[in-house]
Every structure is written in structure tokens, then in C-alpha cells.
Amino acid sequence: MMNGKRILLIIGGGIAAFRALDLIRRLRERGASVTPVLTPAAEHFVTPLSVSALAASKVYRDLFDLTDEAEMGHIELSRAADLVVVAPATANLMARMAHGLADDLAATLLLATDKPVMIVPAMNVKMWEHPATQRNLATLTGDGIRTVGPVEGAMACGEFGPGRMADVPDVVAAIDAFFLGGPLAGKHVLVTSGPTHEPIDPVRYIANRSSGAQGTALAAALRDLGARVTFVTGPADVPPPAGVDVRRVQTARDMLQAVQAALPADVAVMAAAVADWHVSNASGSKMKKDGSGAAPALAFAENPDILAWVSRAANRPSLVVGFAAETDNVLAHATAKRARKECDWIVANDVSPATGIMGGTENAITLITAEGAEDWPRLTKDETARRLALRIAEALA
């Protein structure tokens, strides 16, 4: 798939740098040529000799190497590739990219390039979650830079959480998808997924049984068709897919803010199972039994209607897809929801306990559009996602 493709690989300085060696090998197996660039910090984790041997290429390291400047200046090097990949992209390197610094060869190449850039972040979980890193990430994705990961996992430092570099096969798949293009190439798709958690007190919350599996599968299927995907997810049971821009939220109000920040988009696929209400008198400390046998009185307030807000937004996507999980009168309720929310399509399904759909691996949907209702067969959620992604691509063609 990558025959003849030229990749400029910038290796950042972190323990995940050793994965770049496997990435080079796999890219070359697929027919790509790899020109490696090492940051000074990266040389503490991998050697120029090992990188050069696997890449079968000269390793570039120094901005002020006069021989390199005579043979291939940094401007030419930055523009001689089809894709620039930064793996791993450390917090420091992301910060320098976001602020346009050019204080070493890697940063200068990233500032001078006119080619697409893909970053594969890897860092400590607290560094990844820090507001500064998230601001830098928002700047980079806003500039059109593609991201792959990070994923949750054990860190070399002993901590666990998001920040681990995406697995090499997932990085290769994202690069494959970039070169394949696809019917959604150049399109921005917003996908919401998972449940929301509405706090009762610091310990307890109101939620639903959504696993997030269908929304996650949709984000991956749309990515595979070439779309740039912003994935806004509540606390789901399944990890987010690689190669998408992940925005994690907890409550419905958090999700609305993340959705608003993600627009404009060409398509919005609102697959999240958003709680209809939140507890308006949530306690700031854990509620305790007082021995009287009386339960605390919870007051409820309606959550924002995210689907309706997107459908009526001034920068409304050209296609807005809602979801309706029902337990009775599925078609009637979903059809009414489509009209009430002013969205283009509704994906309806029966989530009665006997179906095993909510939290399961299969789905059976009815796609409701202006033209009518289509019953789809029971399929795996991955296959349902692929079919729906193709329908979205057809609608935008």
C-alpha cells in the first residue's frame, strides 16, 4: 500500500522511542522509504546506528551540520516527503510545535514543512492530562495535524492511564488510511459516544448501560474511509480507536462544551447515550445514612439537548445523524425524535433487555431518513459501523 511513499520520521526523546525501530521496519516492509530524524533527547534511548541500519538511510541529527546543508538543506528535507510522522511525540516536542519554535533540527523541519504531519503522542499520564498539553493538542489538531493515540496502559514510570504510545500496528494502519485516502478524505466528522455520568455526590452517579462500543466502531470506520474524526466520548467500557482526536468527558454538560468546541464539521454522528437529567442538588460530600430509613431527596434538572443544539447550530454540519435507543414502539418514537430534534437521520434500535444489544457485540438498527425507514439485519457492531460509514460517504458524494 505504501510502495514508493516517502516518510520523514522524527523520533522524539522518550522511552517509547524504541518503538520507532519496529515502526521503521514495518513501514519499509510495506514499500515505504523512511528518512529518520533524531532529536538530541532521542539519542538517549535509541542509537543513530540502529535507526540507520533499519531505515537503510542516513540519520539526520544536527541543524547546523554544514555537510548536510550543502547536500540537502533543512528546507528541502522538510518538503521531500509525502508525510511527516512524529513518533513518539513528547509533551515537549508538542509544545514546541504548537508555539512555532525552531530550536533544533526536528522543530525546524516541522515549522518549515508544507507536507501533512501526523503525531503519535507518548508521555506520562499526568503530562498528557495537563491543561497545557491539552491546549497544545487543540492547537495542533486545529492546524490540521493528525494524531494517533495515545492509549491507556501501564507506563514505564509505573503509573497507568492515557499517555502510552499507540501500538505500532495501529500507527501503521493510520498511515495506511492516510495514503489510501478514501471517500471521506478531507472531511471532518464529529462522533459522540459512550454514556455520561451525572454525579449524585463525589462517590455516586447516575448513568446507563451504554458500553460505547457502537460509537467507537463508527469512529474507526469513518477514520478508515479517510475522515478526520473528532471523538467525544463519555466514560465508555471500550478504549477509543487509534488515529482519531479523542476528547474525554464525564457529564452531558461537559459533552455539550466539547461538541461546541469541535465544530465546524462536515458530519456529526451523535451516538452517545446522553443522560436526560442531572441531579441539581448533588452533594459536595458523600451522602450518609442517618438511621431513619429515609432516602435522600434528589432533585433533577433536564440536561442540555446536544443533538437538537447541533441540528440548529449556526455552523450546522451538512449531515447530522442522531441515535434513538428505545424499548417499545421503536419506529414511532424514533421517527418522532427525528422531527423533534431536526436532524437528518436517526439510527434506531431496540435495547430491550431480551435483545442483548445494549452492552453487547451486535446491533440491529432501523435507519430513518427523509425518504423513510430501512430495517437492517442484525450484524456485529463493527459491520454496522462500516455500513453506516459507507452510507454517510455516499450522502456526501
Counting Cβ atoms within 10 Å, is residue 153 exposed (0-12), middle (13-18) or buried (19+)?
middle
157 annotated active-site: yes
Instruction: Give the containing element (helix H, strand E) for 193.
Output: strand 188-193
- Estimate the crossing angle of helix 168-180 against helix 18-29, to 10 degrees: 40
Is 45 annotated as belonging to a binding site? Answer: no
Q: How far apart are CA 314 and CA 298, in angstroms?
A: 36
Is 341 assigned a ligand-binding role in the annotation? Answer: yes
Do 234 and 194 meet the contact criterion of CB atoms below 8 Å apart? Answer: yes
CB 392 within 8 A of CB 319: yes
Contact 350, 326 (CB under 8 A): yes
Annotation-wise, does 7 bind a ligand? no
Selected catalytic residue, list 1, 132, 157, 336: 157
60-82 b/e with 16+ CB inside 10 Å = b? bbebeeeebeeeeebeebbeebb
Q: Are 376 and 384 spatial neighbours (Cβ–Cβ below 8 Å)?
A: yes
The span from the CA of 280 to the CA of 134, in Å, is 29
Contact assessment for residue 154 and residue 164, using Cβ atoms and an 8 Å cutoff: yes
Distance CA 317, CA 315 (A): 6
Instruction: Please check if 115 is assigned to a binding site.
Output: no
114 is in an annotated binding site: no
**Helices 91-98/105-112 angle, 10° precision:** 40
Tell me if 13 sits within 8 A of 42, measured CB to CB.
Answer: yes
Which residues are catalytic, by number? 157
Residues tagged in the binding site annotation for CTP: 276, 286, 304-307, 323, 337, 341
Residues tagged in the binding site annotation: 276, 286, 304-307, 323, 337, 341
